[in-house]
Amino acid sequence: MIRYVIFLGKPGSGKGTQAQYFSRFGWIHLSTGELFRRHLQEKTVLGSKVEQFVKRGDLVPDDVTFSLVEDFLTKVEPDSRIIFDGFPRSENQAQLLEYWTEKTGALLVAAVEFFLPDDEAVRRLLNRYYCPSCGYVSNEPGLCPNDGSSLVKRTDDSEEVIRKRLADYESYAPQLRTFYRRKGKYLAVDATKKPSQISKFLESVMLRNDL
Ligand SMILES: [Zn+2]
């Protein structure tokens, strides 16, 4: 049985850091942004579908986004544990994931939202470094622990761009809160806490033996 958690949270809320942490325990970190990039790079059939919308500057429709996610899910081991990061982004996507869950008998462990005030998210994002090779994220400059590349600052992280991304998150987050609350799967975590404290809380949810 595939088990999965959904990490919800605005940019800078630290969900990527936690996903990196849990990947050490065998959880697969599924970032839809990374998935898009990979399909575009490898020029797959799905990638060319995505490209049509990106080229026109349109949003990628939910069913196309989900077809990439579903393609990924059909290729993983049947007992995989997966962290969704950046997906779903709408109630419609959540519903598509729900149909897939019912169809395959997968288990949604929880949808966890990382809460952080906007000003703190801005402060963090303005001081964020990432690895150009593997996407590793850090709050300090230095070398990537995965492959030794020099960490660089994201060039698109100007305050104006960040504020827009934060507003974008708030435009779809409420419907997801409601959706997963109704299912009894919604949890919130205070993302201003230390990463180690957040990991501890998530461990109690994600590493339970009875799942
Ligand atoms: Zn790296």
In whole angstroms, give the CA distance from residue 16 to residue 208.
21
pTM, rounded to two decimals: 0.87
Query: Is 128 marked active-site?
Result: yes
- Cα–ligand 1 centroid distance for 63 (angstroms): 31
- Cα–ligand 1 centroid distance for 132 (angstroms): 7
Instruction: From residue 114, give the alpha-carbon distance in Å to each of 38, 76, 151, 173.
Output: 26, 26, 25, 11
Query: Is 181 marked active-site?
Result: no
Domains and CATH numbers, the chain: 3-206 (3.40.50.300)
Query: Is 182 marked active-site?
Result: no
Catalytic residue among 154, 163, 177, 185: 154
Query: Is 194 marked active-site?
Result: no
Rg (CA), the chain: 17
Query: Is 15 marked active-site?
Result: yes
Query: Tokens for 15?
Result: 């969900």
Residue 210: predicted pLDDT: 64
- Cα–ligand 1 centroid distance for 189 (angstroms): 27
Q: Which residues contact 149 (CB under 8 A, 6 or more apart)?
A: 131, 132, 133, 134, 143
- Cα–ligand 1 centroid distance for 30 (angstroms): 16
Order of strands across the sheet that contains 129-130: 137-138, 129-130, 152-153
List the pLDDT tens digit at each of the 211 positions of the chain: 999 999 999 988 999 889 989 998 999 999 888 898 899 999 999 999 989 988 888 888 999 999 999 999 999 999 999 999 989 999 999 999 999 999 999 999 999 999 999 999 999 888 888 888 887 888 788 999 889 999 998 766 788 988 999 999 999 999 999 999 999 999 999 999 999 999 999 999 998 766 6
Q: Which residues contact 165 (CB under 8 A, 6 or more apart)?
A: 10, 11
DSSP labels for 45-65?
HHHHHHHHHHHHTPPPPHHHH
- Cα–ligand 1 centroid distance for 128 (angstroms): 14
